[in-house]
Amino acid sequence: MYMATVITNGKQTVKLYQSVNRGKAMYQLAYYAGGERVRKNFADKAQAKRVANQVLGGLVADSRLVDAAATPEIESLVAAKQVLAPGYALHVAVEEHAQAVARLGKASLSEAVEFYVKHHRTDVPRLPLSEVSELFAKSREQSGLSPHYVYLCRKYTRKLAEGFPGLCLSDLTTGELDKWLGGLKLGPTTKNDMRRVLGTCGTWAERQGYLLKGMNPFTGMIRYKEIKTDVSIFTPEQIGSMLKDADESLRPFIALGAFAGLRTAELQRLDWSEINLDRGFITVAASKAKTRRRRLVPISENLKSWLTPLKQTAGPVCLHVSPQQAAEAKCKGFKWARNGLRHAALALGH
């Protein structure tokens, strides 16, 4: 690099350096702008001088702005430099702030930062929905809930994971969930069942630290209007047909539903030790009853005759994860009726 030629306007200067690179003349301008040293390279000397004069003109304009600045503006400038991170140019910070405010519209920058921090906290594990599904189902199982309910928890949360592949709980929004559930080809009752299970999953996730408190996206989901239909009741002939075709693993479920009127969830939690054929009653513990109240259910002679050959000392009465589907397969010449066994028992006065 050779001796510099100084180009000046009386206040500011730009230095022009000349050198040779691979036998060709090269020119470099060097000057200070905004407290930083700037270098620009040219192959043509005349062009370098033109740019130097343009730079000087800009520096003059900047100098006039500084000279015209009032004391409060200078104090503001000094204060801004003090709060900036080291090496972070003030004009860059101002430019980024202006762009952010323009994009946010009515929301403030601090509100946007608060929202981002809430949804991207490093102390909240970002588990895939498929992993959340399995953890939630296992927690329900460990809580002693019925196999059927655990089955539904796993089924519905897996369906959620399939609907939002690769996402985590914190990525979901209530609007997206409503659109997804509304698009499924399911009846309103099933959709409401799914919404309830997913809501429970969200509450569990909050307690486990997989979601921030108050960020459960399932709680505000749409409730679907369920259309009431006429109560369906199995006839004695239909009940007899199902009992005849069922094997020993399914027969207690059908008999207890049809002749004792126990709910499906109660049947799935029932143990043989809670059936006393000699004294003639079934004990439904408070922890297993829908009403959370202990009750005794009488055993009719008809029910006793069906259960006696199957009676065991202890163990689960219902051996099927989804006994209703298994019983539905035994409907020959007639359709399965939702709650048909329990309604038949109530109609018969059992």
pLDDT for 199: 95
Question: Do 266 and 341 have their domain in common?
Answer: yes
Domain of residue 335, CATH code: 1.10.443.10
CA pseudo-torsion sign 136, 138, 144, 146: positive
The DSSP symbol for 261 reads -
Specify whether 343 is located in the same domain as 240. yes
Q: Is the pLDDT of residue 175 over 90?
A: yes
pLDDT value of position 274: 94
Q: Is residue 221 part of a domain?
A: no
50-64: pLDDT as tens digits: 888 887 777 655 555
**CA 59, chain centre distance (Å):** 54
The structure tokens 């490093």 sit at: 122
Query: For residues 282 and 232, what is the distance between their CA atoms, to the nearest angstrom?
Result: 25
Q: How many folded domains does the chain comprise?
A: 4
Cβ burial 320-349 (10 Å sphere, 16+ → b, else e): beebbebbeebbeeeebbeebbbbbbeeee
What is the predicted pLDDT for the residue at 52? 83
Domain annotation covers residue 230: no
Read off the pLDDT of residues 249-292 as tens digits, 9 standing for 90 and up. 999 999 988 888 888 888 888 999 999 999 999 998 887 777 77
Whether 219 maps to a domain, the answer reads: no
Interval 70-82 mean pLDDT: 65
231 inside domain:
no
226: in domain: no
Q: Please state, rounded to an integer, the average pLDDT across all residues of the chain.
A: 84
Q: Which residues pair with 168 in a beta bridge?
A: 128
Domain assignment present for 63 = yes
Crossing angle of the two packed helices 340-348 and 251-260, in degrees rounded to 10 = 40
Are 21 and 92 part of one and the same domain? Answer: no
* Alpha helix (H) residue ranges in 209-282: 236-245, 251-260, 264-269
- The answer to whether 49 and 42 are in contact (CB under 8 A) is no
Residues 113 and 192 in one domain: no
Q: Is residue 124 in a domain?
A: no
- In this structure, the answer to whether residues 18 and 87 fall within a common structural domain is no
Please check whether residue 317 lies inside any domain of the structure.
Answer: yes
Indicate the range of 8-22, 85-99, 168-182, 286-300 predicted with least confidence: 85-99
CB 269 within 8 A of CB 288: yes
Q: Considering the entire predicted model, what is its pTM?
A: 0.50
> Quick one: pLDDT at residue 236?
86
Structural domain range at position 13: 5-68
Residues 240 and 343 in one domain: yes
Give residue-wise pLDDT tens across range 5-31. Answer: 888 877 778 888 888 888 888 989 888
What's the rounded Cα separation, in Å, for the pair 133 and 144?
17
Residues 104 and 143 in one domain: no
Per DSSP, the three-state class of 210 is: coil
Question: Domain check: are 333 and 272 in the same one?
Answer: yes
Do 60 and 83 lie in one domain? The reply is no
